[in-house]
Amino acid sequence: MAIIAILLLLVAPTFTNIKSAGDVTGAAYTIKGMLDTARTYAMANNTYTWVGFYEENVANLASPNPDNPKIGRIVMSIVASKDGTNVATTNPIGPTKLNQVGKLTKIENVHLTIFTGSLSGNGTGSTFPTRPTVSATYCVGNTASTTPFQYPLGGTQYTFNYAVQFGSDGAARVNNSANDPQTAAEIGFEPTHGAVVPNPTPANLVAIQFGGVGGGVIIYRK
């Protein structure tokens, strides 16, 4: 039994793969869990953490792959500063300055997107019934980070150009410290059919907002 247990550990995948072809709720809570884990780790260990986001073509079963369009499979990773300081000072962040936190996570048949819409008179967003509008500047996927990190540490399989940074105080920033904490930042996504974004836009959209200062995570559905 001991030998079998060791073999299972050796062949266990180094990532979690979630096939969520229509299960946007499951995808939303997976992403929320990643954000919560990174924030909790940063506060508990008095350090900085980063949640990286990467999207690739889901039609190619191989991952990573360079195929276009880069749609349909979201890959996520969490890393933390080893010495507790903000080491996001180089492009990419030096791998020797980081620790990997947990496994690589992949969600299939979803696409990162940015929702727009101005606030109406009653304080709600025009895209979702109750969602406050967030400036595109503070949406993951709008602007690539100037200090990305890579996976595996010291390798180049994935380069996470989009990231959410958490400080030891729990404050969240989009794309490292270049953006100050805001009342809300956002990760938006929609379901796909393979590597094709549905047209017209489907009804089951998700916006995940997290407070820049408090870091709390709220899921909005449409």
What confidence score (pLDDT) does residue 18 get?
52
Total domains, the chain: 1
Would you say residue 197 lies in a domain?
Answer: yes
Would you say residue 3 lies in a domain?
Answer: no
Would you say residue 92 lies in a domain?
Answer: yes
Q: Which amino acid is residue 180, in one-letter code?
A: D
Better pLDDT: 179 or 151: 151
Domain that holds residue 90: 13-221
Would you say residue 6 lies in a domain?
Answer: no
Full-model pTM: 0.85
Can you tell me which residue has the tokens 């793969």?
17
Q: Residue 218: pLDDT above 50?
A: yes
Would you say residue 34 lies in a domain?
Answer: yes
The total of other beta-carbon atoms located within 10 Å of residue 177's CB is: 15
pLDDT per residue as tens digits for the range 183-210: 778 899 989 888 998 787 777 889 898 8
What confidence score (pLDDT) does residue 148 get?
92
Q: Which of 17, 26, 27 is nearest to 61 (CA)?
A: 17
Would you say residue 20 lies in a domain?
Answer: yes
Would you say residue 215 lies in a domain?
Answer: yes
Residues in Cβ contact with 188 at an 8 Å cutoff, skipping those fewer than 6 apart: 112, 113, 114, 115, 139, 140, 141, 205, 206, 207, 208
Would you say residue 4 lies in a domain?
Answer: no
